[in-house]
Structure 1
Amino acid sequence: QKQNTTNDYLLASRNVNPWLTALSAMATGQSGYLFIGVIGFTYKVGVASIWIPVAWAIGDYIAWWLIFKKLRLVSQQTNSDTVSSFLGQENLRSGKNNGRLITIISALITIAFLGTYASAQLVAASKGLNAIFGWNYQLGVIIGAVIVVIYCFSGGIRASIWTDSVQAILMIGSLLVLCIVGLINCGGFGELWTKLNAIDPTLTNLIPANLPWGFFPYFLGWIVAGFGAVGQPHILVRAMAIDSAENVAFARNIKFVCGQINSATAFGVGLTARALLPDLITSSDPELALPYLSMELLPAVMVGLMLAGLFSAAISTADSQILSCSAALSQDLIPNTANSYRMAKITTLVVTAIVLVIALTGDNNVFALVIFSWSILACGLGPLLVLRVWQKPISVPVAIAMMIIGIIVSIAWNLGLGLSSAIYEVLPGMATGFIVYGIVYFLTDSRELSK
């Protein structure tokens, strides 16, 4: 039952049903990234693109298995309503709360990069509207932002989780329909393979081409990317809001099954789109493969279903991310307003405006935006969250160093060294965060680490 309190607005009073948790986590984790980014990437790369969702699923499952149950317990013990406040929590071994600076820095990271992540969802929604209706790109972004605000104001995280769950079912159904229709029009799996091979033989290669360090480091990098869910506030908050820590395992398994159905059908849609619409690679944006394929194969009513699925995927993530950014602003950066329900809504408007500006002025490649934002959040917040969950002693300087150095390594690995094609930057970025802690741990008295 909805309550007009900040705790209910941010964590649904920690009583969310595990089915809703599972479906919501799946929807908000896959997002417009799946409908636009992954399908577009599969369209360009072909069969070899399958290793990213497979590896990602492995890492994501490990994160839920090792971290999320304990996160639910410890976040309640420390009375943490946001991920940033949890990271700057009272150190349980020392009994001293000197983590205010940690909270501020992690909140700034959340707003900057989760906000960028949310902008990718508005871009994804707008691309769908543009492809199907020919609407102006900017208009589509604005419509998406308005709908997100309506969702958020309907009841905070509780409304977000309920709508996410309905949208998750719509996502599964729409992708499944388009995948089956696409395969039928291709003539089955055998004909699909033949068509892809005729277009470009590299499309049927099982192993990605041009891997500088080989397949295993590449695959391992994407497994760690999936584990990077431990640094994503909009996903973590769902584990914090579930009704019981004992139900996390059930939610994890449901999420995993539904997520793999979606990933498999998105993979199929990307391949069938390449086979049936081969000219899209040069004449338009490959990330529009889903809307163009649906218009090519389906009656108008079903095209509407596809658009609803795409819009659901994008908005279900955007509202969750904007709520997490809003919480970081109202609860962590302006703590004197932490108990103000009205201020929580005002900051939601402010964050939405920031995200809207990013979407209108930034990069419109959904896959690239999501991959970049995910890596920064995973490397900046992930290692520290893991150690907080396991209640390890961490001093303020060490925690800050872990966050900042992890982000620097992630950016340098991708933009400076250009090695992300060999190993996705989440692996070196997160590893560096743990290495920083490990070095200090072995060189310092454990009592000093708590200060």
Structure 2
Amino acid sequence: METATLITFIVYLVAMLIIGLVSYKLTSNLSDYVLGGRSLGPGVTALSAGASDMSSWLLLGLPGLAYATGLDSIWMCVGLLIGAYLNWKFVASRLRSYTEVSNDSITVPDFFENRFKDRSRLLRVISALVILIFFTFYASSGLVGGALLFQETFGMTYNTALLIGAIVIISYTFLGGFLAVSWTDFFQGLLMFLALIVVPIIAIVDLGGWGETMDKVRQIDPSYLDAVDTMSGLGIISLMAWGLGYFGQPHIITRFMAIKSVEEVPKARFYGMTWMTISIVGAIVVGLVGIASFANDPLIVGDVDNSEKVFIFFADLLFNPWVSGILLAAILSAIMSTIDSQLLVSSSALAEDFYKALFRKNASDQELVWVGRIGVIVIALVSIILAYNGNPEKGGASVLDLVSYAWGGFGAAFGPVVIMSLYWKRMNRNGALAGMVTGAVTVVVWKQLTERGIIPFELYEIVPGFILAFVAIIIFSLIGREPKKVIKEEFNEAIEQDL
């Protein structure tokens, strides 16, 4: 274990905790804790949304996928870029205006209930349950990624590495809430961005240039550089379908709700898409260059788990311990920036959508903030248990597998409901409920049927989930009553503010 790398890590972690402490002083009520008082500027909104979106997938999962499959991975990236742009273009500003018009909604379940004037609380409770279930898996994936990082870097056991990473993340999310999460994500996003520019450039130079690098990849296997011939139609659809997930990710769309104003959204979209495009290209290049650098390395060849460590290997191989420490901190940034957002959204669901809505309607803001903080600890503990059982070295799921399941669950359960609630005035509560339940159940059932071989082909479960959720929304809305006058008036007001 290099002392310089350890010192760099410690300095980075202390800086994140300081941000948490400062944010603690600025957090006085539940709106501050959950949504930062709707005060984010476009830069912080964009980079915190991107960093919380990408997680360890960007520096571990995607480079590992590119290493294992070559340019086949580009289809996923194309789908993600299209989905992210459409999310910024059609959801961001209207969701910002609608959540404020609709009784100043501060969580996604809160918005669903207020949008459809659901006095039964079913929409709020079911959507909060979906958040808690899928975010527990999602946060678990990040903890697995963090454990792999500490394990590889410092020679720790998997379980020790898992606990250290979890303690740091829980600490600053517990203290500072949304402001801590957003500002740490902003700085983490910058660090991830720089790492994905520096590492592939230095690696390519080390191999003798781009042409020399690609020649080495072709010598190993020309199919690595073919993104078409080696892919089936369903395979391409499954990878591009990742883009559908954006419309339903609570930890991303809450950033849209928190931006200062609708007028700031175009700037945020530009910053966010620029960051995302360059970062994704850098991650793919890391994987491709890894093929040329590590193809004969026994640490990686034939080992699927180790393919997700390709960025870590480059950081160790090409840089001195001080720089390596910064680059490895970028991986930790990617992991932390997503888990903190997931823990915050989940704890918000516990405080606002269960505790206040069902048990303590007159609870004070301070009480709800502390319920949220306790929720962070409880949800994190469950995620730690899942991550403990998910040790990849003992046959557990990879980071990409865990992310894929949670991403598909949110995309199918919430995506169609969010889109239709913002753009279809005729949609009613029963349509929203039907869409949400249909999307979530389809993802779970389709995944199980595919794994058992009952469905004879592989198609990412978000595709049938997304389609069936849309169908359910339309059918149940049309056969039910038209929305009340007050709902239609609110819809029109939200549109006017969005124009």
TM category, shorter:
over 0.9
Match of 1:282 among 297, 302, 306: 302
Does the aligned pair in 1 maintain the 2:151–2:157 contact within 8 Å? yes
1:314-333 equivalent positions in 2, closer than 5 A? 314-333=335-354
Residue in structure 2 matched with residue 230 of structure 1 by the alignment: 247
Distance 1:308 1:447 in 2: 50
**Is 1:342 the counterpart of 2:363 in the alignment?**
no
Residue in structure 1 matched with residue 386 of structure 2 by the alignment: 358
- Give 1:331 shift: 0.9
Residue in structure 1 matched with residue 39 of structure 2 by the alignment: 15
- Give 1:255 shift: 0.4
Structure 2, unmatched stretches of 5+, are 1-22, 391-395, 488-499
Residue in structure 1 matched with residue 418 of structure 2 by the alignment: 385
Residue in structure 2 matched with residue 398 of structure 1 by the alignment: 431
Give SS of 2:114's match: coil
**Is 1:129 the counterpart of 2:150 in the alignment?**
yes
Distance 2:399 2:283 in 1: 15
**Is 1:27 the counterpart of 2:55 in the alignment?**
no
Residue in structure 1 matched with residue 106 of structure 2 by the alignment: 81
Give SS of 1:328's match: helix
Distance 1:64 1:208 in 2: 33
Distance 1:221 1:297 in 2: 35
Residue in structure 2 matched with residue 410 of structure 1 by the alignment: 443
Distance 1:297 1:395 in 2: 57
**Is 1:253 the counterpart of 2:253 in the alignment?**
no
**1:83 partner amino acid:** V
**Is 1:268 the counterpart of 2:285 in the alignment?**
yes
**1:158 partner amino acid:** L
**Is 1:182 the counterpart of 2:207 in the alignment?**
no
Does the aligned pair in 1 maintain the 2:430–2:477 contact within 8 Å? no
What count of residue pairs does the alignment treat as equivalent?
442
- Give 1:395 shift: 4.2
Shift of the 260–282 alpha-carbon distance from structure 1 to 2, 3 Å rule, reads: same
Structure 1, unmatched stretches of 5+, are none
Residue in structure 2 matched with residue 108 of structure 1 by the alignment: 129
Distance 1:438 1:411 in 2: 22
Residue in structure 1 matched with residue 90 of structure 2 by the alignment: 66
Matched residues, percent identical?
31
Residue in structure 2 matched with residue 431 of structure 1 by the alignment: 467
Distance 1:221 1:19 in 2: 32
**2:46 partner amino acid:** A
CA deviation digits over 1:1-54, x for unaligned, max 9?
A: 823111100000001111110111111111111111111111100122112112
Residue in structure 1 matched with residue 10 of structure 2 by the alignment: none
Match of 1:43 among 50, 67, 74: 67
Distance 2:114 2:429 in 1: 11
Distance 2:45 2:415 in 1: 21
Shift of the 222–68 alpha-carbon distance from structure 1 to 2, 3 Å rule, reads: farther
1:91-170 equivalent positions in 2, closer than 5 A? 91=116, 96-98=117-119, 100-170=121-191
- The two structures, once aligned, show a CA RMSD in angstroms of 2.2
- Give 1:126 shift: 1.3
CA deviation digits over 1:29-85, x for unaligned, max 9?
A: 111111111111111001221121122101110111011111001111122111111
Residue in structure 1 matched with residue 313 of structure 2 by the alignment: 292
Report which stretch shifted further, 289-298 or 163-172: 289-298
Distance 2:273 2:265 in 1: 12
The normalised TM-score by structure 2 is 0.84
- Give 1:316 shift: 0.8
- Give 1:201 shift: 2.5
Does the aligned pair in 1 maintain the 2:49–2:252 contact within 8 Å? yes
- Give 1:298 shift: 1.7
Residue in structure 2 matched with residue 369 of structure 1 by the alignment: 402
- Give 1:125 shift: 1.4
The normalised TM-score by structure 1 is 0.92
Shift of the 181–12 alpha-carbon distance from structure 1 to 2, 3 Å rule, reads: same
**2:118 partner amino acid:** N
**2:73 partner amino acid:** S
Does the aligned pair in 1 maintain the 2:84–2:243 contact within 8 Å? yes
Residue in structure 2 matched with residue 53 of structure 1 by the alignment: 77
